[in-house]
Amino acid sequence: MGVPTRSIVRAGLIGGVAAIFIALVGLYTKFATLELVGEQITLGRLMIVAPALVAAYAVTRPRIVAGERRVVSLRDGLIAGALTGLGTGIVFAAGTWFADLFGVDRIREVFISVTDELIAFLTFDKGIPGGLVILIVICIVGGVVGGFVRTAPEPIRKPAAVGVLAVLLFGLLQRIVPIALVELGYDADWLYRAGSGLTVLGGVVVFAVAAIADILWNRGGRRLKDRVRQTTETAPAARLGLFLVLVAILAILPLLLGSVISETLGQVMIYVLLGLGLNIVVGYAGLLDLGYVAFFAFGAYTTGLLTGAFLNTTTGAAQPALSADLNFYVAVWIVALLAAGLGLLIGAPVLRLRGDYLAIVTLGLGEIVSVITASKWAQPLIGGPQGMRGVTKAEIFGLNPQDNPQHFYYLALAFVLLAAFVSWRLSTSRIGRAWTAMREDEQVADATGISTTKFKLLAFAMGGAIGSLGGALFAVSIGSLTPASFEITVSITALAVVILGGLGSIPGVVVGALVLIGLPGLLREFEDYRPLIYGGALVAIMILRPQGLIPNVRRTRELAEEEVAQDAWAGGGPSGEGEAVAAVVPGGSLGGEREDLE
């Protein structure tokens, strides 16, 4: 038997509990009607399959038995997957049945998501005994798919997985792709149903195209990629060309996507800026800053004050105690400079603190800023709880970023490019190497003559300046500032963006912001669940893939070395955490598991 029975039972149980968790937290009811492909495949229904699929995928992973890595065969994988799905389905169905027996109304006094609609959704409108059987069968199918995705031969499973992911992505992007196609002059009504997800035909086509593309890529694409890489490495002009092409694509994006989506993209850009700034502090210099919202708030409010915004009061508008009447493009540099100063001010007293203590102190400083912005004490200067409005004067070259999301996108893009350029140059410079050295071992760095004081302060100042630009942009985009926009969630979201993308990686920040801000922004249904997803994502990334989606090359190497060192320790150590060590080997979740030899 390829997979130990105990593991299967455990995975089934965990899958079932996870499914019940998803039901209680309200995700099923929220996404029950979000159609992805045709009328039948909704996001909610995929979420029914997901726990079984993931559990089966996890349970059929290669294991290390007696020092030998054993891959599960396809037959064993399918059987184990089906059994895991069966376990998940039974637990899930039992939970649903219990809810019905006990009384939905009584449970709802505690768990507000348990409704008759939820039960009907989970039983596919077929009533209790019949619907539960369908539920179990669906879970078994999910388990089989999970086992298949893990254990099928590489040339089959990879194109299949890529195809499914592409369908999922196109389904989720149902509010972008059709609009973009129409803007391009192509009416894609065979691909998407009006105001809904893909058509069945569309789904099949997307799947086929993606799968074939993946196969072709494996045949010849690798060579092409290598050649491109070689050319760009040897000829700087080629690299510049590639970069310009990328910028050109970014520049025409809002024209294709219309104003609603440009607005989301603008928000993404703000978080790219925040991510780039935080990346300098956390990714390059290794200083975990949890109070980054301080710079965001500082940038936004200072921009407001410098561009002549006025305070909201109960009786109308009032002049702030301190204000100037500058043009935004003048003000923003002053803001950045002041924020760099604030960075020094915050950085100086906390210099000697390391690691988690630094994190908590910066968290405290960030909270002080949010508490003060919301207090009545701050009323005469920045409006306190009522906030301020009328941030203006951002018109330039006939563009009006304040009223037109597409124009705002260009403004944000310019700032992002600037910040990305600065980060990139910094990371490859002497300063960047000093930061790396400091991050790796502060004492050694100090001993080799790097002034850690100076470089830490520099990191805080640079990070602060870029973060304040994010705040300035935010002030322009929204025009009015209230304390509710400047809470700890901003710090944590920015951190999640940096960590999801990969610490120290500039493309990673962009991808992180697109995934964490862009996707939920496009599907309004996600709005309430954003923090839940961010929190879950932070935990999952730290456990499964600490180097992020697009890892920084050097960082990956370091993590690998750390794991090797720990592996050596854990192997000889008492707690035997081999399982955890194997799971965080860079390159993904394909690490083996040490089985207990009982």
Partner 1 sequence: MATVTGQRAPGSQLGLLERLPWRKIILVVLSALILLVVVVGSYKTLTLPADERYTATTWKNFVTLGLAQGAIIALIALGYTLVYGILRMINFAHGEVFMFGAYTSFFFSDAWEQSGFLDSNPWLSMALLIVIAMIASMIVALLLERIAYRPLRNAPRLVPLITAIGASLFLSNTARGFFGAQSRGYGVPDVLSGSWTILGVEVNRIQLVVLITVIVAVVALSLFVSRTTTGKSMRAVAADSEIASLMGIKVDRVIVITFAIGGLLAGIAAVLFSITFESVSFSMGFRPGIAAFTAAVLGGIGSIYGAALGGVLLGLLQSVGPALVLTGYGIPSSFQLKDAFTFLVLVLVLIFRPGGLLGSGEAEKV
| Structure tokens belonging to residue 530 | 């954003």
| Least distance to partner 1, CB of residue 532, Å | 4
Point out which span in 31-39, 166-174, 328-336, 489-497 binds partner 1 (CB under 8 A): 489-497
> Does 204 engage in binding with partner 1 (CB under 8 A)?
no
Point out which span in 142-150, 240-248, 343-351, 505-513 binds partner 1 (CB under 8 A): 343-351
| Least distance to partner 1, CB of residue 53, Å | 19
Give whichever of 412 and 494 is closer to partner 1, judged by the CB atom.
494
Question: Which residues in the 92-111 window bind partner 1 by CB under 8 A?
Answer: 109-111
| Least distance to partner 1, CB of residue 544, Å | 9
How far is the C-alpha of 299 from the C-alpha of 475, rounded, in Å? 8
Give whichever of 226 and 562 is closer to partner 1, judged by the CB atom.
562
Point out which span in 17-25, 202-210, 293-301, 408-416 binds partner 1 (CB under 8 A): 17-25
Question: Which residues in the 422-451 window bind partner 1 by CB under 8 A?
Answer: 446, 451
Do the beta carbons of residue 89 and residue 137 sit within 8 Å? yes
Question: Which residues in the 518-547 window bind partner 1 by CB under 8 A?
Answer: 528-529, 531-532, 534-539, 542-543, 546
| Least distance to partner 1, CB of residue 489, Å | 8
Q: Taking the mean position of all CA atoms in its chain, how far away is CA 394? A: 30
Residues 6+ apart with CB under 8 A from 386: 311, 312, 313, 314, 379, 482
| Least distance to partner 1, CB of residue 98, Å | 16
Question: Which residues in the 368-427 window bind partner 1 by CB under 8 A?
Answer: 368, 371-372, 374-377, 379
| Least distance to partner 1, CB of residue 344, Å | 10
Looking up tokens 């039901």 gives 23
How far is the C-alpha of 285 from the C-alpha of 575, rounded, in Å? 32
| Number of amino acids touching partner 1 (CB under 8 A) | 74
Do the beta carbons of residue 294 and residue 460 sit within 8 Å? no
How far is the C-alpha of 9 from the C-alpha of 272, rounded, in Å? 43
Give the chain's length.
Answer: 598
Do the beta carbons of residue 540 and residue 499 sit within 8 Å? no
> Does 176 engage in binding with partner 1 (CB under 8 A)?
no
Give whichever of 329 and 377 is closer to partner 1, judged by the CB atom.
377
State the sign of the Cα–Cα–Cα–Cα dihedral 309, 314, 316, 321. negative
> Does 255 engage in binding with partner 1 (CB under 8 A)?
no
> Does 566 engage in binding with partner 1 (CB under 8 A)?
yes
Question: Which residues in the 180-199 window bind partner 1 by CB under 8 A?
Answer: none
Strand partners, 69: 64
How far is the C-alpha of 326 from the C-alpha of 393, rounded, in Å? 8
How far is the C-alpha of 211 from the C-alpha of 205, rounded, in Å? 10
Point out which span in 1-9, 140-148, 273-281, 576-584 binds partner 1 (CB under 8 A): 576-584
Give whichever of 19 and 86 is closer to partner 1, judged by the CB atom.
19
Give whichever of 267 and 370 is closer to partner 1, judged by the CB atom.
370
With CA atoms as reference, report the closest residue to 394 among 470, 476, 466: 476
- The contacts found for 343-350 with CB under 8 angstroms, 24 or more apart, are 343/295, 343/457, 343/460, 343/461, 343/462, 343/463, 343/464, 343/465, 344/457, 344/460, 344/461, 346/291, 346/294, 346/460, 346/464, 347/456, 347/457, 347/459, 347/460, 347/461, 348/457
- Looking at this protein, which amino acid is placed at residue 359? A
| Least distance to partner 1, CB of residue 317, Å | 20
Point out which span in 33-41, 398-406, 566-574, 586-594 binds partner 1 (CB under 8 A): 566-574
Give whichever of 332 and 342 is closer to partner 1, judged by the CB atom.
342
> Does 574 engage in binding with partner 1 (CB under 8 A)?
yes
Residue of 149, 288, 419, 473 interacting with partner 1 (CB under 8 A): 288
Give whichever of 111 and 310 is closer to partner 1, judged by the CB atom.
111
Residues 6+ apart with CB under 8 A from 232: 238, 239, 242
Q: In what order do the strands lie in the sheet with 310-313?
A: 316-318, 310-313, 388-389, 480-481
How far is the C-alpha of 204 from the C-alpha of 34, rounded, in Å? 19
> Does 47 engage in binding with partner 1 (CB under 8 A)?
no
Give whichever of 395 and 577 is closer to partner 1, judged by the CB atom.
577
> Does 69 engage in binding with partner 1 (CB under 8 A)?
no
| Structure tokens belonging to residue 425 | 């140059």
Residue of 186, 357, 421, 424 interacting with partner 1 (CB under 8 A): 357
| Least distance to partner 1, CB of residue 252, Å | 36
Residue of 225, 454, 554, 557 interacting with partner 1 (CB under 8 A): 454
| Least distance to partner 1, CB of residue 46, Å | 18
How far is the C-alpha of 581 from the C-alpha of 585, rounded, in Å? 7
With CA atoms as reference, report the closest residue to 388 among 470, 305, 468: 305
Point out which span in 246-254, 305-313, 342-350, 395-403 binds partner 1 (CB under 8 A): 342-350
> Does 349 engage in binding with partner 1 (CB under 8 A)?
yes
Give whichever of 251 and 348 is closer to partner 1, judged by the CB atom.
348
State the sign of the Cα–Cα–Cα–Cα dihedral 522, 527, 533, 535. positive
Point out which span in 34-42, 68-76, 326-334, 347-355 binds partner 1 (CB under 8 A): 347-355
